[in-house]
């Protein structure tokens, strides 16, 4: 097991393996995305309270899940890179950040689109919306900090510390925002869906979740490969890669 | 460890006393920013009393962040920061001393000026007392979190602006409990829970932030 995990810690091996995995990730994304959209928009019944507006849940919920998960995964890899001084984990953490930020934006955006027909407003300072918004700011801070530092090693370690501090603070922020929200306007608006979700709706949501996972893997692998090429540009294997413009670089 | 902390704090206070106007700049910012709100929002006493606690707190957050980049910047320039990192004394104590000095020079003046701003916003005496009390507990949190941000952005071109983006999202809980206490007192309720949570937050940050800032300094000067 140990050898298997550390095999891909070498940027050159990761580059090759990720390159091979990317087309498969895209295939899974397309397959499950089409299936999920078909079940979600074609088969799942119309909600008797919200009409067809609820169908955005099939994009909204997976995006919200991914946005929170990616932050934790990013903090994990960044911390690993900092503690064990492995370059690849640090590069991987940096590759995750824009996708996490994108997922947060999608979750907020679809939440606004969903809120307009059901609550009658684009935005409320609901606990979940507010903490999601703060999460977006924290992604922004991580990206801004790592981009502002020129030295890749310092950028990776500073980003790791920031991501860890953020990960420790996320629960504190979430519960304080929840408390603040209940103090100010009561639980007049609750986003909790119907207690019993039709099984087709659940199926569609799970299919879309797999699609979002595969998409994240595909994009993050692609971005991580680009970062590897950028940071390892003075090594022999990257030079060899660029000298022979065959299909080797883009399988 | 305590002696190191005291020595660093005394040194920073001495340096601050030599540059008195620079030390008072955050206070000036605080008063100007808070005074702009009644002009922007309108002089309605009811509205002003309602937004008062939030405005004072947010302005205190911004004023605290404004000066926090200076915590390590001048020591980096004259090389004394590298000597501090090389010294056998624990870096955590040095950082804590600098945080203490920063709070005494910027946080405490804000706490003392807050009642004045509270009067400008027409707040009740009890609410003003609560405001000063929450700021007394809250501004050290800002100095502590700001130290982490300042250490991370040490020597960067865009460091001053970056600190705002890095640190302000983390100060949201302090802002919530701080303004919540004032609103509760104003509404005739007990603010004990708010004060307890704010105190817990201060202890939590006080234990976590100095080691984090020390680690950030080591990363930045690696």
The ranges assigned to domains in chain B are 2-220
CB contact under 8 A, B170 and A161: no
B160 touches chain A (CB under 8 A): no
- Nearest by CB to B216, from A137, A161, A168: name it: A161
What's phi and psi for A47, nearest 5 deg? -75, 135
List chain B residues with CB under 8 Å of A154. Answer: 219-220, 222
Cα B12 to Cα B103: distance, rounded to the nearest angstrom: 11
- The answer to whether residue A39 scores a pLDDT higher than 70 is yes
- Nearest by CB to A144, from B162, B172, B212: name it: B162
Q: Are B211 and B145 in contact (CB under 8 A)?
A: no
Q: What is the pLDDT along chain B (222 residues), one digit of tens a residue?
A: 788 888 888 888 888 888 888 888 889 999 999 989 888 888 888 888 888 888 999 999 999 888 888 888 888 888 888 888 888 888 899 999 999 999 999 989 999 999 988 888 888 888 888 889 999 999 999 999 999 999 999 888 888 889 999 999 999 889 988 888 888 888 778 878 888 989 999 999 999 999 999 999 988 887
Q: Which of residues 181-200 of A touch B (CB under 8 A)?
A: 183
Average pLDDT along chain A? 81
- Nearest by CB to A165, from B165, B183, B212: name it: B212
- Nearest by CB to A149, from B156, B168, B197: name it: B156
Contacts of A28-34 with C-beta under 8 Å, sequence gap 24+, read A28/A210, A28/A211, A28/A214, A29/A211, A29/A214, A29/A215, A29/A218, A32/A207, A32/A208, A32/A210, A32/A211, A32/A214, A33/A207, A33/A208, A33/A211, A33/A215
Report the percentage of chain A scoring pLDDT > 70.
85
Model pLDDT, residue A105: 94
List chain B residues with CB under 8 Å of A149. Answer: 156
Model pLDDT, residue A188: 43
B109 touches chain A (CB under 8 A): no
For residue A45, which of A36, A35, A57, A55 has the smallest C-alpha distance? A55
Q: Are A47 and A194 in contact (CB under 8 A)?
A: yes
- The answer to whether residue A248 scores a pLDDT higher than 60 is no
Q: Which of residues 185-214 of B touch A (CB under 8 A)?
A: 197, 201, 204, 208, 212
CB contact under 8 A, B169 and A148: no
Between A236 and B107, name the one with better pLDDT. B107
B148 touches chain A (CB under 8 A): yes
- How far away is chain A from the Cα of B114, in angstroms, using its nearest Cα? 22
- The answer to whether residue A71 scores a pLDDT higher than 70 is yes
- How far away is chain B from the Cα of A228, in angstroms, using its nearest Cα? 22
Model pLDDT, residue A187: 40
Cα B210 to Cα A200: distance, rounded to the nearest angstrom: 51
Report the percentage of chain A scoring pLDDT > 90.
19
A94-98, A157-161, B83-87, B109-113: the lowest-pLDDT one: B83-87
- How far away is chain A from the Cα of B132, in angstroms, using its nearest Cα? 20
Look up the ipTM and state it.
0.85
Model pLDDT, residue A4: 60
List chain A residues with CB under 8 Å of B147. Answer: none
Q: Is the sign of the CA dihedral B180, B181, B186, B192 positive or negative?
A: positive
A83 touches chain B (CB under 8 A): no
- The answer to whether residue A49 scores a pLDDT higher than 80 is no
B157 touches chain A (CB under 8 A): yes
CB contact under 8 A, A138 and B169: yes
Cα A249 to Cα B63: distance, rounded to the nearest angstrom: 51
> Could you say which DSSP state residue A244 is in?
S
B219 touches chain A (CB under 8 A): yes
Confidence of residue A111 (pLDDT cuts 50, 70, 90): confident
Model pLDDT, residue A251: 47
For range A154-179, the mean pLDDT? 86
**Closest B-chain CA to A133:** B169
For range A192-205, the mean pLDDT? 68
- Nearest by CB to A161, from B157, B177, B219: name it: B219
A180 touches chain B (CB under 8 A): yes
Model pLDDT, residue B62: 92
Q: Which of residues 140-169 of A touch B (CB under 8 A)?
A: 140-141, 144-145, 148-149, 153-154, 157-158, 161-162, 165-166, 168-169
Q: Are A129 and A108 in contact (CB under 8 A)?
A: yes
A93-107, A166-180, B108-122: the lowest-pLDDT one: A166-180
- The answer to whether residue A48 scores a pLDDT higher than 70 is no
């Amino acid at each position: 097991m140990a050898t298997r995990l550390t095999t891909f810690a070498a940027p050159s091996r990761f580059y090759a393996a990720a390159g091979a995995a990317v087309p498969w990730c895209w295939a899974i994304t397309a397959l499950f995305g089409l299936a999920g959209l078909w079940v979600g928009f074609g088969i799942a019944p119309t909600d008797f309270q919200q009409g067809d507006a609820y169908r955005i849940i099939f994009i909204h919920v997976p995006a919200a899940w991914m946005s929170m998960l990616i932050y934790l995964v990013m903090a994990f890899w960044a911390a690993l890179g900092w503690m064990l001084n492995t370059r690849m984990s640090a590069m991987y953490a940096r590759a995750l950040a824009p996708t996490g930020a994108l997922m947060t934006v999608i979750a907020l955006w679809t939440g606004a689109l969903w809120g307009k027909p059901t609550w009658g407003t684009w935005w409320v300072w609901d606990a979940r919306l507010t903490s999601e918004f703060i999460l977006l700011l924290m992604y922004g801070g991580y990206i801004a900090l790592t981009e502002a530092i020129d030295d890749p090693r310092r950028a990776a370690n500073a980003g790791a510390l920031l991501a860890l501090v953020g990960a420790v603070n996320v629960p504190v922020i979430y519960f304080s925002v929840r408390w603040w929200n209940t103090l100010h306007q009561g639980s007049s608006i609750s986003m909790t869906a119907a207690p019993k979700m039709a099984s087709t709706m659940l199926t569609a949501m799970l299919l879309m979740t797999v699609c979002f996972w595969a998409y994240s893997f595909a994009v993050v692998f692609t971005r991580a490969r680009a970062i590897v090429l950028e940071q390892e540009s003075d090594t022999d294997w990257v030079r060899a890669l660029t000298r022979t413009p065959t299909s080797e670089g883009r399988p | 460890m305590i002696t190191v902390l005291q020595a660093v704090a005394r040194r920073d206070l001495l340096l601050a006393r030599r540059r008195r106007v620079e030390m008072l700049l955050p206070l000036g910012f605080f008063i100007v920013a808070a005074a702009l709100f009644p002009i922007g929002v309108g002089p309605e006493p009811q509205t002003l009393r309602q937004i008062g606690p939030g405005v004072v707190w947010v302005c205190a957050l911004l004023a605290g962040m404004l000066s926090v980049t200076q915590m390590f910047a001048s020591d980096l320039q004259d090389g004394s920061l590298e000597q501090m990192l090389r010294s056998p004394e624990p870096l955590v104590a040095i950082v804590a001393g600098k945080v203490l000095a920063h709070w005494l020079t910027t946080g405490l003046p804000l706490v003392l000026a807050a009642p004045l701003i509270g009067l400008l916003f027409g707040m009740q005496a009890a609410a003003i007392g609560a405001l000063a009390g929450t700021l007394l507990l809250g501004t050290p949190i800002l100095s502590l979190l700001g130290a982490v941000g300042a250490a991370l952005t040490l020597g960067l071109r865009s460091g001053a602006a970056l600190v705002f983006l890095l640190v302000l999202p983390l100060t949201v809980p302090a802002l919530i409990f701080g303004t919540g206490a004032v609103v509760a007192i104003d509404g005739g309720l007990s603010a004990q829970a708010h004060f307890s949570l704010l105190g817990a937050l201060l202890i939590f940050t006080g234990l976590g932030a100095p080691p984090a800032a020390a680690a950030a300094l080591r990363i930045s000067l690696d």
